[in-house]
Amino acid sequence: MPFSFTKLRGVKCALLALSLSGTAALRAEDWALSTTGVRIGLPASKSGKDFWRAEGLVGWTLPWDWSFCNDWNLDSRLDLTAGWLGDGYKNAAVVTLGPSFGLHHKGWPLTLEGGISPTFISRYEFVSKDFGSYFQFTSHVGLTWQFITHFSIGYQFEHMSNAGIDGQNPGLNLHVVELRYIF
């Protein structure tokens, strides 16, 4: 049987998966209310310069998290937000529901977070934008800092669009700041 790099690559992937499984533990826990808070979104680009967003947040710990390398943890959470989106002339209600993931190192107050949520907006036509559909997707990535027990502040870069479901898909980018209470 001749030597091939494709077979060697497969062996390397299998060894990597085996070594990761030895250092990682996936565990299931009960669902629990984990956080509540508020967020304010500010325009992140010229195309969305008129848009602002304000919302409340409730998050539940999902029954999965992943510990690896003894000091790192990847947590999962289900976030529900409800709030307002406006361009200074027209307003809409916004509701999102979807998973978020947080990566943090044991003993560090910073967490890298990201997620994507199906989103419903009560109006998709605004003065400066036509989002094309009531149904959107909102993705985010950011950092949170737990500055004292039970409280964190954070920053997220957020993108909302209909992912091409409708022919009109301009999207909206926001800088989002948040304050959370952690149970």
Segment 128-151, tens digit of pLDDT: 899 999 999 999 999 999 999 999
31-77: per-residue pLDDT in tens? 889 999 999 999 999 888 999 999 999 999 998 889 988 899 999 99
Position 3 scores a pLDDT of: 43
Q: Does 152 score more than 70 pLDDT?
A: yes
Nearest to 176 by CA among 60, 88, 75, 96: 96
Grade residue 14 by pLDDT with cuts at 50, 70 and 90.
very low
**Nearest residue to 44 (alpha-carbon basis) of 131, 174, 183:** 174
| Domain ranges (residues) in the chain | 26-182
pLDDT at res. 12:
45
| Other CB atoms within 10 A of residue 143 CB | 14
Q: What's residue 167's pLDDT?
A: 80
The pLDDT-based confidence of 29 (bands split at 50, 70, 90) is: low
Please name every residue paired with 93 in a beta bridge, in sequence order, or none if there are none: 84
For the structural domain made of 26-182, what CATH number should be given? 2.40.160.20
Q: How far apart are CA 68 and CA 53, in angstroms?
A: 36
72-112 pLDDT, tens per residue? 999 999 999 999 999 999 999 999 999 999 999 999 999 99
- Bridge-based pairing of strands 135-148 and 151-161 is antiparallel
Give Dmax over CA atoms of the chain in angstroms.
Answer: 71
Percent residues over pLDDT 70 in the chain? 84
